[in-house]
Amino acid sequence: MPKPILSSRSRIPAAKANTLFKCYAERLNPSETVKRTGLSLNTVYDQYARIRWRLIEVGYYRDAAFSKDEDGLSEVVKEELRQRRGLEDGDVYAHAAEAIEWAEKWPQGTVLIQIRKIIELTGPLDTPLKLSEAKAQVVSAYVCYTRTKLIHDRAAMKAEIDETHLTFAERSKDAKENAWRAYRAAVIRMERNKSKAPDISD
């Protein structure tokens, strides 16, 4: 099975890279991640920044802000941004996108699976995102699926304790299944396109 690649030049051992992914999915700050991984603080900052931007690029993170105190941000997000020391104006947008997402209580295990898959699909984080049209459709379809799954999982948990959420849980299940089929269809189209490509090898 392909594995997500942090960097095309990285010497980070696979075990440490896997732990770093887990830490990110658990919303741990860089200092806490340093303790778990044994990586340097600069390395963790760099990898967090790359993960953050890749998730913005593919649309997994869907909201952001240009100011720490921008209207519309919740107090939880504003406080999170204030606590991020050394945050410069040019960095606020990406950190706000992350903080908004982290304020949601999505299941960490699901988030980890989704982040790893997105990075697996899009390639090393230290290279610019460059996807073929077919691959871009696969990534877009997968991201759509991830969001519907997160919503469904939350609705299903609420439906277990409150039947008023049952109808929404059923509708969100249909949306999740439709999104999964769309993703698989995009994968099949991409694989067919590859098989049709002319062989230019000697």
Q: pLDDT of 34-79, one tens digit each?
A: 999 999 999 999 999 999 999 999 999 999 999 999 999 999 999 9
Q: Could you tell me the CA-to-CA distances from 26 to 69, 101, 110 in Å, in that order?
A: 25, 12, 11
pLDDT confidence of residue 37: 95
pLDDT confidence of residue 66: 94
Give this prediction's pTM: 0.89
**Locus of tokens 């999170």:** 80
pLDDT confidence of residue 143: 98
Reading the chain (202 residues) residue by residue, the pLDDT tens digits are 456 667 777 678 888 999 999 999 999 999 999 999 999 999 999 999 999 999 999 999 999 999 999 999 999 999 999 998 888 888 999 999 999 999 998 989 999 999 999 999 998 998 899 999 999 999 999 999 999 999 998 888 877 767 777 888 899 999 999 999 999 999 999 999 887 756 554 4
Count of helix runs (H) and strand runs (E) in the chain: 8, 0
Which residues 6+ apart lie within 8 Å of 58 measured at CB? 118, 122, 129, 139, 140, 143
C-alpha 94/C-alpha 35 separation (Å) is: 24
**Locus of tokens 């439906």:** 159
Q: Do the beta carbons of residue 56 and residue 99 sit within 8 Å? A: no
